[in-house]
Structure 1
Amino acid sequence: MKRLLLVVVLVGITKLPAVAQPDSFRFEQLEGLQEAERRPVVVFISADWCRYCSRMKMSTLQDERVVKLLNESFYFVSLNAEEKKDTPFYGHTFKYRPTGNETGVHELAEQLGSINGHLSFPTLSVLNADMEIIYQHGGYLSAKELSTILALVKKEQKK
């Protein structure tokens, strides 16, 4: 009986559908990637404690349409706004900046994610191939909303 149960469990696990995820890159890779193929960059800025960030990672960023658009036409970078590791990006090193006891924010998250001087989570920033911000959105985006935005950016960048 135990063997039969084990076989059923193993068969069930192997038949689970694979979760789609966008190819993810690091900031230090972008310069070389842009030399090989110029593409817009989508930066997803989040924090570990943010419920909406987690929800967006588990739903929106695993949607097949979104993943396909990101993988075919963009470079995707996920940035933890509270990352304490230095991040080199186009000749500048961005650092974690403490703001209090056990709190702080990464300089790159502030640079790319601040909208009207305020950083909220999640924030999506789209950069063109020259690393200029061309679109920002603060707050949760559904898969339908994000795929619409990505399709518009893709269309605009082809002009």
Structure 2
Amino acid sequence: MIKTCLIIAVVCLSAGKVVAQPSAVKFTELNGLQKKQSKLVLVLIGTDWCKYCKAMEQSLKSDKQIGGILKASFYPVFLNAEETSEIVFAGRRFKFKPTGTNTGVNELAEQLGTLNGQLTFPTLCFLNSENEIIYQHQGYLNSSSLMLLLNKLIQSR
């Protein structure tokens, strides 16, 4: 009996946690999603080797308050700036550009993440439903600063 109650409790708690967290979408899915429900797009641009990028991604995935805000008002997209595969977005094809031996950057990361002539990691890029850049932020944001930014963007919408 106790075992059954524990299993039910774990399932209920897990289900609540999953529901609160938005799942990241792919660039190819955005057009269809925007037709169903218009939302802002949050693009987190990072790399596999960037510890601050991973920390921000973790905040987006695991913080319940941030998850609730994202689920209600944003489509989150995680973009590896060093993605070697071609990315199709907004009717264009973005390719990997080598910048040296075993290194390079995807053109989409450059397009969305360059601010004042520089691409740094992590970078947050926010798009409106027409895929126009409405705000960019370079550098790490902790959970409270990220929540403040998300709320300001929602209010200015």
Name the TM-score, length of structure 1 as normaliser: 0.84
Over residues 96-117 of structure 1, what are the superposed CA-to-partner deviations in whole Å (9 max), with x where a residue is unaligned?
Answer: 1111100000000000001111
> Match of 1:79?
79
Which runs of 5 or more residues in structure 1 are unaligned?
1-6
Aligned 1:8-157 pairs, distance under 5 A:
18=17, 21-157=21-157
Contact 2:44 2:57 in 1 (8 A): no
- What is the count of residue pairs matched by the alignment? 146
Which runs of 5 or more residues in structure 2 are unaligned?
none
Over residues 10-47 of structure 1, what are the superposed CA-to-partner deviations in whole Å (9 max), with x where a residue is unaligned?
Answer: x8xx6896576432100011111111111110000010
- Flag as ranges the 4+ runs of structure 1 deviating above 6 A: none
Name the TM-score, length of structure 2 as normaliser: 0.85
Q: Which structure is higher in helix share?
A: 2
Contact 2:83 2:105 in 1 (8 A): yes
Q: What is the Cα-based RMSD across aligned positions, in Å?
A: 1.9
Counterpart Cα distance in 1 of 2:54 and 2:89? 25
Identity across aligned pairs (percent)? 47
Amino acid at match of 1:59: S
Q: Which of the two has higher C-alpha Rg? A: 1
Amino acid at match of 1:105: V
Point out the more displaced range, 123-132 or 60-69: 60-69
